Chains A and B, each alone.
Chain A
Amino acid sequence: MRVVVCTKETPDTAAKVQVTPEGMVTWGDAPLVINPWDEYAVEEAILLTERGATGTTVIGAGTEDTKEALKHALAMGIDEAVLVSDPVLQGADALVTSHVLAKAIEKVGDVGLAIFGKMTTDGGTGAVPVQVGRWLGWPTLTYVFKIREIDFGAGTITVERLLEEGKQIVQAKLPAVISVVKDINEPRYPSFMGIRKASRAQIPTWSAEDIGVDPAVVSKVTWPEVRELPQREGECEMIEAATAAEAAALLVDRLVEEKVI
């Protein structure tokens, strides 16, 4: 059974993301990179080829820009990439995006596990993995930080999930969807050979029709406005004193005055 990773491109995390006077989001010259959470998903997929997965596929739904993320995954060692791109998908919300990804996973065929990063660093609702699982009718295990056991032959998986108040250990049947958190592994850097192979790779593009997207599934959520956070008013008040103890006492006074404490 194959392992699929779903990914997309996001502005580099160091980018200063701003809003233009026309209300468009811009990150200037900053590069588009693979969504940082997805590197853990890609690494885990590659590691699973040593635990019985027969092959790996990375899927991105988006535009030509999405190929940046797909090529990074190929350069790390994923076997093949597919881009799902279609004008009807423009402005897709999480509901439509998850439906499209579910359809693409079905078309790949013989998938035992679909892996997602925990969320995306752009519009990230964090809900897409569970939504994809729901469309497919597969069990979904989110916030996984360890795959304890996976047996593609027997069709079973046991994972540790990172919840607010501890670790939940759960068992499910394959095929399944998981989302992974940062602790799960240490993503490798693409090798020189990997980068060369990825740059030459022919990435097929599937349309909405190719994968059988249901036109009745339509986006519900829109973003009428995006804005920058209001600038913080006032300067930073620097506490200066001869000793650390005096500075500490002054600061505590100010915090008490402001009723923070």
Chain B
Amino acid sequence: MSDVWVWIEHKDGQAASVSWEALGLARRLADEQNVSVVALAFGPSAAQAAQEAIERGADRALVCEDATLSEYRVEPYAGLLSKLAAERQPGFILAGATTRGTDIMGAASVDLRAGLLADVTEVSLDGGRVLATSPVYSGKLVATVTIPEPGDTPQLLTVRSRAFAAAERDASRSGEVETVEPALAEDDITVKVVGFEPAGNQVSLADAAIIVSGGRGVGGPEGFEPLRELAETLGAAIGASRAVVDAGWIPYEHQVGQTGKVVSPDLYIACGISGAVQHLAGMRTSKVIVAINSDPEAPIFKVAHYGIVGDLFEIVPALNEAFKQRLS
């Protein structure tokens, strides 16, 4: 049995989009080797996520809704994944390269003494071994990464958001959903979740199809206002350069670049960002890059597809109006 497993990251049955992208990749890997795709969903309403996984192409699903899994914690989640994998010996385990996906797969790699290919953006098979592409040096280079001798251990992969096409849903598909027992009892778990503060309704950078990003050219915290209005029109996330995060104009979770997030949206609109190498590393794989900057020599224009030289406080509101007209 060298089935392809996918850990479905979900909240109350609603999966993260990267999980369906991982499932799409899992289906392809399984079809090439004539094996099955097994989805794993843990926590409240896991059965609902599992059902959707089957409709999106999984052959079977393993589900555990035990109370110890009600909040995500590495110990019970990775413990259960590793225990199931040790018993059933999948060939591959996939998850999204999210904070949780990285944690659970890192822990499982130690439990199973298995290799972990992290944050992959392309995958091919070479006689049962995965050859994956992974950005390294914070996106400045790309490496081919592989596990030459997996032996009897699974090959573990975390996949980058938006790098693979999501598996399509087909409600007519069916498959077996098996309920499994948890690996740990509450007394064995040393971490307790005491609270959660949601970040609000902001679009997350990793998932965003469009990002409107601001640099020093916005002039101050209030300079992000026209960018926010444009982002709202486009359903976009707000990004920022390191300089403005360091200046305290916008919180760190918006930072794009080497010490922030690496993103690759369909459209990246850089407003008043000069384009330091650290920033470019974080966004240069975006499909279309628009640069708005008052300095025609700014390095950002070297990676941009479209450029407008001028005052962003005139151009960004004008863009907002133009998009509004076009989208209405």
Contact = CB atoms under 8 A, between A and B. Distances in A.
Interface of A: 11, 13-19, 25, 36-37, 93-95, 98-99, 121-131, 133-135, 139-143, 158, 161-173, 181-183, 217, 220-229, 232, 234, 236-240, 243-245, 247-249, 251-252, 254-256, 258, 260-261
Contact of B302 (A142, A221, A225, A236): A236
Interface in B89-123: 98-100, 102-103, 105-107, 109-111, 113-119
Interface string B74-93: 11001000000000000000
B328 to A, nearest CB: 12
B308 interface: yes
A173 B188 CA distance: 12
Nearest to B199: A166
Nearest to B147: A220
Given A127-B118, A130-B102, A134-B107, A229 B284 contact: yes
B252 A170 contact: no
B198 A166 contact: yes
B287 A139 contact: no
A171 B191 contact: yes
Smallest CB-CB A-B distances: 7 pairs: A220-B115, A127-B106, A125-B118, A248-B318, A169-B195, A134-B110, A244-B314
Contacts of B252: 181-183
Given A251-B290, A255-B288, 17 more contacts: A94-B116, A95-B116, A125-B118, A130-B106, A134-B106, A164-B204, A165-B204, A168-B72, A182-B259, A220-B150, A221-B147, A224-B145, A226-B144, A232-B284, A237-B307, A252-B322, A261-B234
Nearest to A228: B141
B198 to A, nearest CB: 4
A131 B106 contact: yes
B138 interface: yes
Interface string B193-208: 1111111000010100
B190 A260 contact: no
A245 B99 contact: no
B288 A236 contact: no
A190 B324 CA distance: 51
Secondary structure dominating the interface of A: mixed
16 contacts: A36-B258, A129-B106, A130-B103, A141-B191, A162-B99, A165-B198, A170-B191, A171-B194, A222-B145, A222-B148, A223-B144, A236-B303, A247-B310, A247-B315, A251-B290, A256-B326
B267 A127 contact: no
B170 interface: no
A111 to B, nearest CB: 16
B192 A172 contact: yes
A142 B73 CA distance: 11
Nearest to B109: A95
A252 B183 CA distance: 54
Contacts of A243: 318
Contact of A125 (B106, B137, B196, B326): B106
B277 A16 contact: yes
A161 B192 CA distance: 13
A136 B276 CA distance: 39
Given A126-B102, A143-B99, A221-B147, A162 B191 contact: no
A136 to B, nearest CB: 10
Contacts of A16: 140, 277
B165 interface: no
A183 B251 CA distance: 8
Contacts of A245: 318, 321-322
Interface in B142-180: 142-150, 153
B259 A226 contact: no
A228 B137 CA distance: 11
B314 to A, nearest CB: 4
A240 B292 CA distance: 12
Contacts of A164: 16, 98-99, 204, 206
B199 A165 contact: yes
A131 B74 CA distance: 11
A238 B139 CA distance: 26
B190 A173 contact: yes
Given A169-B193, A222-B146, A261 B259 contact: no
A221 B146 contact: yes
A248 B315 contact: yes
B301 interface: yes
A169 B150 contact: no
Contacts of B290: 251, 255
Interface in B251-295: 251-253, 255, 258-260, 266-267, 276-278, 284-285, 287-288, 290-291
Contact of B288 (A11, A128, A260): A260
